[in-house]
Structure 1
Amino acid sequence: MTKDELIAAILSKLESERENIVRQWSNPDGTHTRYFYVDDLLPKDTAQSIYDAFPRDADGFFNRQSFREKKRTLTNLASCAPILSDITYAFQNEAVVQKVGDIVSFKELDPDPSLYAAGLSMMFKEDFLNPHIDNSHDGERRKYRRLNLLYYVSPGWALENGGNFELWDTSVKTQKTVVAKFNRLLVMETNANSWHSVSPVVVDRPRCCVSNYYFSKNSPSGEDYFHVTSFLGRPDETGKRIVGRMDNSLRNLVSRALNTGRGRELLNKSDDKK
Structure 2
Amino acid sequence: MSYLPHNPQDPTLFDYDAVKDLGRELHEKYISGDPFPHIAIDNFLPDNLIDLCIQNFPERPDPGSESFNRDQERYKTSYHPDNMEPKLRHLFYAFNSRPFIRIIENISGIKGLIPDPFFLGGGFHETRQGGHLDMHADFNHHKPLDLERRINVLIYLNEDWKDEYGGQLELWRTDMSEQVQQITPIANRCVMFTTTQQSMHGHPQPVNHPNGQSRRSIALYYYTSTWNSTKASKTTQFYARPNTKDRADWQVRTSEFISDITPPFLMRQFAKAHYRLSQGQRKTGGA
- C-alpha distance in 1 between matches for 2:169 and 2:45: 20
Distance 1:137 1:11, change over 3 A: farther
Point out which structure has higher relative CO (alpha carbons under 8 A, 6+ apart). 1
Aligned residue number for residue 87 of structure 1: 91
Could you state the TM-score of these two structures normalised by the residue count of structure 1?
0.81
1:183 maps to 2:191: no
54, 74, 85: which is aligned to 1:51?
54
Distance 1:170 1:97, change over 3 A: same
Q: Residue 93 of structure 1: CA displacement? A: 1.0
Contact 1:125 1:205 in 2 (8 A): yes
1:164-175 paired onto structure 2 within 5 Å = 164-175=168-179
- C-alpha distance in 2 between matches for 1:178 and 1:14: 28
Distance 1:91 1:255, change over 3 A: farther
Q: Residue 215 of structure 1: CA displacement? A: 0.6
239, 242, 254: which is aligned to 1:250?
254
How many matched pairs?
Answer: 253
SS in 2 for 1:127: strand
Distance 1:223 1:33, change over 3 A: farther
Could you list the per-position Cα deviations for residues 220-259 of structure 1 after superposition, in whole angstroms to 9, with x for gaps in the alignment?
A: 9x96232111112232236614xx3x33322324667356
Q: Which blocks of at least 5 consecutive residues in structure 1 are unaligned? A: 266-274
Q: Which blocks of at least 5 consecutive residues in structure 2 are unaligned? A: 1-6, 261-266, 273-277, 279-287
Distance 1:253 1:119, change over 3 A: farther
SS in 2 for 1:215: strand
SS in 2 for 1:188: strand
226, 237, 247: which is aligned to 2:233?
226
- C-alpha distance in 2 between matches for 1:193 and 1:225: 14
1:206 maps to 2:214: yes
- C-alpha distance in 1 between matches for 2:162 and 2:102: 31
Distance 1:136 1:106, change over 3 A: same
Q: Residue 131 of structure 1: CA displacement? A: 0.6
SS in 1 for 2:13: helix
40, 62, 78: which is aligned to 1:37?
40
- C-alpha distance in 2 between matches for 1:125 and 1:39: 25
Aligned residue number for residue 4 of structure 2: none
- C-alpha distance in 1 between matches for 2:103 and 2:246: 43
Runs of 4+ in 1 over 6 A off after TM superposition: none
Distance 1:154 1:11, change over 3 A: farther
1:56-71 paired onto structure 2 within 5 Å = 56-58=59-61, 61-70=65-74, 71=76
Q: Residue 141 of structure 1: CA displacement? A: 6.1
1:88-237 paired onto structure 2 within 5 Å = 88-140=92-144, 142-175=146-179, 176-198=181-203, 199-203=205-209, 204-218=212-226, 224-237=231-244
- C-alpha distance in 2 between matches for 1:10 and 1:236: 48
Q: Residue 55 of structure 1: CA displacement? A: 2.5
- C-alpha distance in 1 between matches for 2:162 and 2:136: 23
- C-alpha distance in 2 between matches for 1:42 and 1:10: 15
SS in 1 for 2:144: coil
Could you state the TM-score of these two structures normalised by the residue count of structure 2?
0.77
Q: Which has the larger radius of gyration?
A: 2
The residue type paired with residue 133 of structure 2 is L
